[in-house]
Amino acid sequence: MAERSSRSDTRTTIVEAAARLLHEQGPSAVTTRAVAEAAGVQAPALYRLFGDKDGLLQAVAEHVLAEFVSTKAESVRAEAAGGTDPVDDLRAGWRIQVEFGLTHPAVFALLNDPARTDPSPAAQSGWQVLTARVHRIAVAGRLRVTEQRAVQLVHAAGTGVIQTLLAAPVAHRDAGLHEEMLEAVLGRILTDAPATGDDRPRAATVAFRALAPDLPGLSAAERQLLLEWLDRTIDE
């Protein structure tokens, strides 16, 4: 048990040292020698724990994003408990996400590497946070599209706008681009408040769809059939 704890402590020390180097000097600074010196360990320890430099960088990206996501997850619980406006909360979460991407460009690039086929646990947690925010909007009767489509649109737009901003020199970045992108997405997925005209039936259906999985008195088969009917209505 003591050996396992020591191994975990060493791993944490190395990851935190590498994260500092990555943040302060970029990926090129995260060499085996530099990380070992910063962490106060011998270089072979890095290979035993992470395999190679890529393994270490992925662990660092996970570490930085996990801390960020844990903060977001706590804020979602506070939002739900406090009865705040779910659309305002989505806006706030978007701004935090953009700030994270621009503040940690190396980590953002690692986590959004197209060659990476399996999403990281931290990235999956972030997706769950976004899903929870969108679900609250659906329950409030404000969505005109399915929850899944809304989550996909917000996520794709957020990733794209961060990549666009990072590709431009800092002095030439359009400071208002991410806000305009968000409003464009919200205009596509939201109804007016409250829903009127043609939006009213769709918003009501989406809201009912958000609550349907928790309805009492239905068998699993009945609940599944109800969800299929609602999904078909929303998609038409």
218 band by pLDDT with thresholds 50, 70 and 90:
confident
Question: pLDDT by residue (tens digit) across 52-95?
Answer: 877 888 888 888 887 777 776 666 566 666 668 899 999 988 99
Where are the chain's structural domains? 1-51, 63-235
Burial of 161 (0-12, 13-18, 19+ CB in 10 A): buried
What's 1-51's CATH class?
Answer: mainly alpha
Taking the C-alpha atoms of residue 235 and residue 7, their distance in angstroms, rounded to an integer, is 51
Can you give the pLDDT at residue 1?
44
Tens digit of each residue's pLDDT (9 = 90 or more) over 177-199: 999 999 999 999 998 765 555 56
Answer yes or no: are the C-beta atoms of 89 and 79 closer than 8 Å: yes
Helices (DSSP H) in 83-198: which residue ranges?
86-103, 105-111, 121-139, 147-167, 177-189
* pTM given for the model: 0.71
Cis, bond preceding 194 (omega within 30 deg of 0): yes
Of the listed ranges 37-51, 170-184, 209-223, the one predicted with least confidence = 209-223
